Amino acid sequence: MDKIFIRSLAVHAFHGVLKEEHVLGQRFILHLIVWLDLSRACETDCLNDTISYAELVATMTKTFTQERFDLIEKAAEKTAQKILEDFNLILKLELTVEKPSAPIAAMFDTVGITITREQPL
């Protein structure tokens, strides 16, 4: 199985359970891996036989930022569902959402979640 990946896509969104997060928002970092068959694209050298990175980034950004959720789990789920819906070549995906400025009284680089979803049969 072949993969396409996007690492460290930074987006500003308003997810979180605290009132300040709803008003000010914060930076989130998204990482995406999609599994698909790239053999046809390798033969044809044609963009129509693969997935455009630019279109993936646009879908991720728009979906992740268009609604506000308390939990990044819900934001990730909505984003994963939209990617699978829009890109039927994708068989499986892994989406990681990092929240580097999470309001936690501790010193850390980042916190986050990873979900894995597959194309419905």
Distance in Å from the first CA to the final CA of the chain? 17
CA dist 35 and 84 (Å) reads 11
Q: Which residues are catalytic?
A: 99
Rounded to whole angstroms, the Cα distance separating 95 from 7 reads: 10
How many helices (H) and strands (E) would you count in the chain?
A: 4, 4
Q: What is the distance between the alpha carbons of residues 42 and 120, in angstroms, rounded to a whole number?
A: 26
* Rounded distance between C-alpha atoms, residue 109 and residue 29, angstroms: 12
